[in-house]
Chain A
Amino acid sequence: MNGQYLIKGGRVIDPANKINDTLDIIISGGKIEKVGKNLSIKSGEAIDAKGKIVAPGFVDMHVHLREPGREDEETVRTGSRAAVHGGFTSVLCMPNTEPALDNPAIVKALKDIIAKDAACNVFIAGAITEGRAGKNMTDFTKLKAGGVIALTDDGSPTPEKIMQEALKRSKAAGLLLIEHCETPELSAGGVMNKGFVSTKLGLKGIPSASEYEAVKRNIELAKKASARIHIAHVSCKESVELIRKAKKDGVKVTAETAPHYFALTDERCSSYDTNTKINPPLRTAADVEAIKAGLADGTIDAIATDHAPHTDSEKDVEFDHAPFGKIGLESALSVSVMELVDKKTLSWDELIQKLSSNPAGILGLESGKLSEGSPADIIVIDPDKEYALKQESIESKSKNSPFIGWKLKGKISTVFVGGKILMRDELML
Chain B
Amino acid sequence: MAEKKTVWTKKDMLGLEYLSKEEIELILYTAGSFKEVTTRQIKKVPALRGKTVVNLFYEPSTRTRTSFELAAKRLSADVVNIEIETSSVRKGETLIDTGRNIEALKIDIIVVRHNCSGAPNILAQNVKARVVNAGDGWHEHPTQALLDMFTLKSRLGHIDGLKVSIIGDIAHSRVARSNIWGLTKLGAKVTVCAPEMLIPDGIEKMGVRITTDINEALDDADAINVLRMQFERDGALAFPSKLEYFKKYGITAERLNKCKKNIVVMHPGPINRGVEMSSEVADGKNSVILEQVTNGIAVRMAVLYLVAYAKGVE
Q: How far is the CB of A417 from chain B (nearest CB, A)?
A: 39
Name the residue in B118, B126, B140 with the highest tally of chain A Cβ atoms < 10 Å from its Cβ: B118
Does B121 lie within 8 Å of A202, measured CB to CB?
A: no
Does A201 lie within 8 Å of B201, measured CB to CB?
A: no
Kindly report which residue of chain A lies nearest to residue B118, judged by CB atoms: A272
Q: Which of B148-180 contact A (CB under 8 A)?
A: 171, 174, 177
Query: What class of interface size applies to chain A in its complex with B?
Result: 20 to 34
Report, nearest first, the 9 A-B pairs whose CB atoms are least far apart: A196-B202, A202-B139, A202-B138, A272-B118, A202-B117, A318-B116, A199-B200, A320-B116, A196-B205
Q: Does A313 contact B (CB under 8 A)?
A: yes
Contacts of A196 in B (CB 8 A): 201-203, 205
Q: Which of B20-64 contact A (CB under 8 A)?
A: none
In the bound complex, what is the Cα–Cα distance between A202 and B170 (angstroms)? 10
In the bound complex, what is the Cα–Cα distance between A381 and B139 (angstroms)? 45
In the assembled complex, 15 residue pairs joining A and B whose CB atoms fall closer than 8 Å, in A order, are: A195-B201, A196-B203, A200-B17, A200-B177, A201-B139, A202-B138, A203-B137, A203-B139, A272-B122, A313-B94, A316-B94, A317-B96, A317-B122, A318-B118, A321-B116
Q: Does B206 contact A (CB under 8 A)?
A: yes
Kindly report which residue of chain B lies nearest to residue A317, judged by CB atoms: B94
Q: How many residues of B contact A (CB 8 A)?
A: 27
Q: Does A194 contact B (CB under 8 A)?
A: yes
Interface code A187-209, partner B: CB below 8 Å = 1, 0 otherwise? 00000001111111111010000
Kindly report which residue of chain A lies nearest to residue B180, judged by CB atoms: A200
Interface code A108-152, partner B: CB below 8 Å = 1, 0 otherwise? 000000000000000000000000000000000000000000000
Partner of A319, one of B116, B174, B203: B116
Q: How far is the CB of A241 from chain B (nearest CB, A)?
A: 21
Q: How far is the CB of B233 from chain A (nearest CB, A)?
A: 11
Known: A272-B118, A272-B122. 5 other contacts (CB 8 A): A198-B201, A199-B200, A203-B117, A318-B118, A319-B117
Q: How far is the CB of A228 from chain B (nearest CB, A)?
A: 36
Contacts of A195 in B (CB 8 A): 201-202
Name the residue in A194, A200, A321 with the highest tally of chain B Cβ atoms < 10 Å from its Cβ: A200
Interface code B196-210, partner A: CB below 8 Å = 1, 0 otherwise? 000011110110000
In the bound complex, what is the Cα–Cα distance between A199 and B172 (angstroms)? 9
Kindly report which residue of chain B lies nearest to residue A194, judged by CB atoms: B201
Interface code A169-198, partner B: CB below 8 Å = 1, 0 otherwise? 000000000000000000000000011111
Interface code B106-144, partner A: CB below 8 Å = 1, 0 otherwise? 000000001011110110011000000000111110000
In the bound complex, what is the Cα–Cα distance between A316 and B96 (angstroms)? 7
Partner of B140, one of A198, A202, A316, A321: A202
Name the residue in A195, A196, A321 with the highest tally of chain B Cβ atoms < 10 Å from its Cβ: A196
Q: Does A271 contact B (CB under 8 A)?
A: yes
Contacts of A201 in B (CB 8 A): 117-118, 139
In the bound complex, what is the Cα–Cα distance between A147 and B200 (angstroms)? 48
Contacts of A194 in B (CB 8 A): 201
Q: How far is the CB of B264 from chain A (nearest CB, A)?
A: 26
